[in-house]
């Protein structure tokens, strides 16, 4: 029995929130730009906060997240970083929860690797 045509499609979610579907030959199947969901917005904002905390080996705090969100809110209107419009869609509490969860998982992985 041949595979269903939809099962042969591959779905990608890009960092900018656009969904792209390719068939098994690599051709696009439909329009690709969709609005960014709130969870994707939170993850896009949490990623640099998490990266900075990991590079400095500091524990992530709520104040760090609030400072980062304030910096994003202070960007000029013609900024092209892509994260500025997301500030209105996320809360500091949610960003802190996501980034702290990532940090806990990385710490647990490091501890497991040392065993």
pLDDT score for 27 = 56
Number of CB atoms found within 10 A of residue 43's CB: 20
Q: Which residue has the higher pLDDT, 81 or 110?
A: 110
The tens digit of pLDDT for each residue in 42-90 reads 888 999 999 999 999 999 999 999 999 999 999 888 888 778 888 888 8
The two structure tokens encoding residue 59? 């524990």
Provide the mean pLDDT of the chain.
Answer: 76
The rounded Cα 30 to chain-centroid distance in angstroms is 23
Longest dimension (CA), the chain: 58
pTM: 0.64
Number of H helices, E strands in the chain: 3, 2
pLDDT score of 20 more than 70:
no
Contact 92, 65 (CB under 8 A): yes
pLDDT score for 94 = 92
pLDDT score of 102 more than 70:
yes
């Amino acid at each position: 029995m041949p595979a269903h045509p939809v099962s042969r499609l591959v779905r990608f979610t890009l960092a900018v929130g656009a969904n792209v579907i390719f068939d098994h030959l690599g051709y696009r199947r439909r329009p690709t730009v969709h609005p960014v969901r709130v969870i994707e917005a939170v993850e896009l904002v949490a990623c640099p906060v998490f990266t900075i905390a990991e590079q400095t080996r500091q524990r992530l705090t709520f104040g760090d997240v609030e400072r980062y969100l304030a910096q994003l809110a202070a960007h000029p209107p013609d900024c092209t970083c892509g994260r500025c419009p997301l500030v209105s869609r996320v809360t500091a509490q949610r960003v802190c929860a996501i980034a702290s969860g990532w940090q806990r998982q990385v710490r647990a992985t490091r501890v497991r690797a040392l065993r």
